[in-house]
Structure 1
Amino acid sequence: MAGPTLDFWQQRFQQGQTPWDRGAPHPQLLAWLDAGALPAGQRVLVPGCGSGHELQALARHGLIVRGLDYAPAAVARARQGLQAAGLGAEVEQADVLQWQPPVHGRPEVVYEQTCLCALHPDHWQAYAAQLARWLPPGGLLLALFMQARRESAGQGLVEGPPYHCDINAMRALFPTSLWDWPAPPYAATAHAQGWQELAVALRRR
């Protein structure tokens, strides 16, 4: 499998080497919640949930939340955080390229913050196909596309994680035959490492 292995992610969480972790929910998610983009009672899936800050924010807003993560250490951390906050959400250790939702638990919303940019681009098409299968027509994909272009890209090198989610590549990955795209420009949130994330809300056709 191209890209980071399970051991790579497990070690990062075990050793606390998670510089991408803000220690709080992403400000764009809070903005979407404040704007009423996610009505209470909807089923929300968070692939690559990490420490689970977003799971807590979603649960506080009355949403039915399920988080997925590849690394058992991340799952344990997310569960501990939810328990300490007295909040209910399901957290599963799973490979997002293989996982399928329960028969009666198909998500209505997917919050995509860190999963895509953590996957090697060789796996992006398989992941995008999963997202299209998980969401029903009308389902909402709230995506934060990481803008992490490196100088080495000019020589054709692919470096990450995080992998650069060029907006042209995203348009090809999530085509208008399957997804309704809002008109740009898109809100950008600065990242501590000097990158930024573009916020795009896609609707499944």
Structure 2
Amino acid sequence: MLAARALSRGRPTEWFEELYAAGDRGETTVPWNRPAAAPQLTEWLAGLGAPDGRRAVVVGCGLGADAEFVGAAGFATTAFDIAPTAVATVRRRFPDSPVDYRVADLLALPDEWAGAFDVVVEIINVQALPVSLRPTATAAVASLVAPGGNLLVVENVREDGAPPSERPPWAFTRAEVTAFAERGLELVSLKQTSTPTLRWQAEYRLT
């Protein structure tokens, strides 16, 4: 498995590019790719009101379904992925997109992105990283939110007391998903959704 080999090499994010490159060659499919935006995102974004010039960022954009939805809604949208092939593919798919697609590493974000976005979307990316990296990744996501901004977090559910899986995705307990409430972020709402995977849907706001 690509993830297992990358972990054994001590390079836990290397397998994302390997997977997207294999997908680009037609050798495999990207398992989390979707033809449309996540239902949690469509519901949540509708509740934020008019874009009014607000800046948005989509973490780990993959092949662009969520980012295209946010951009089409009128937000000034940046979307990034660690895999260059993913970014190249999504640019080919949507050559006239208003979204600014970038290659970037969640664990080493550009300095100018700190506190720069009014809307931050994190959907099933942090759970693809080893649990040992979770505090760093969680803090990185939180760092993107501007004062007064909103953060949506969607991750798979792991019941309290259940052991972590041996391979990704590493689902979140309630305590882990509420750990995004740092750097001044406050938890606004938390619920579980099933579409069809049981997932946390958490909203945070930076006051």
TMscore range, shorter length: 0.7 to 0.9
Identify the structure with the greater strand proportion: 2
Aligned counterpart, 2:58: 46
Q: How many equivalent residue pairs?
A: 194
2:43 is paired with a residue whose SS is helix
Matching of residue 23 in structure 1 with residue 35 in structure 2: yes
CA deviations on 1:42-63 (whole Å, 9 max, x unpaired) are 1111111100111111111111
CA contact (8 A) 2:12 2:129 kept: no
Provide the C-alpha distance between the structure 2 equivalents of 1:104 and 1:11, rounded to a whole number of angstroms: 28
Which of residues 109, 118, 123 is equivalent to 2:128?
Answer: 118
Paired amino acid for 2:121: Y
Aligned counterpart, 2:156: 146
Q: Which has the higher contact order (CA 8 A, sep 6+)?
A: 1
Unaligned runs of 5+ in 1: none
Paired amino acid for 1:137: P
Aligned counterpart, 1:189: 194
Unaligned runs of 5+ in 2: 1-5, 24-28
When the two chains are superposed, the root-mean-square deviation of aligned CA atoms in Å is 2.7
CA contact (8 A) 1:58 1:65 kept: yes
CA contact (8 A) 1:101 1:134 kept: no
1:102 is paired with a residue whose SS is helix
| Residue range with higher mean Cα deviation, 136-145 or 175-184 | 175-184
Q: 1:111 to 1:201 in 2, by over 3 A?
A: same
User: How much does 1:165 deviate?
Assistant: 1.2
1:54 is paired with a residue whose SS is helix
CA contact (8 A) 2:131 2:170 kept: yes
Matching of residue 64 in structure 1 with residue 71 in structure 2: no
CA contact (8 A) 1:43 1:105 kept: no
CA contact (8 A) 2:114 2:143 kept: no
Aligned counterpart, 2:185: 179
TM value normalised by structure 1: 0.81
Provide the C-alpha distance between the structure 1 equivalents of 2:141 and 2:122, rounded to a whole number of angstroms: 10
User: How much does 1:138 deviate?
Assistant: 2.0
CA contact (8 A) 1:75 1:92 kept: yes
Taking every aligned residue pair, what percent have the same amino acid on both sides?
25
| Residue range with higher mean Cα deviation, 131-140 or 72-81 | 131-140
Which of residues 135, 146, 150 is equivalent to 1:136?
Answer: 146
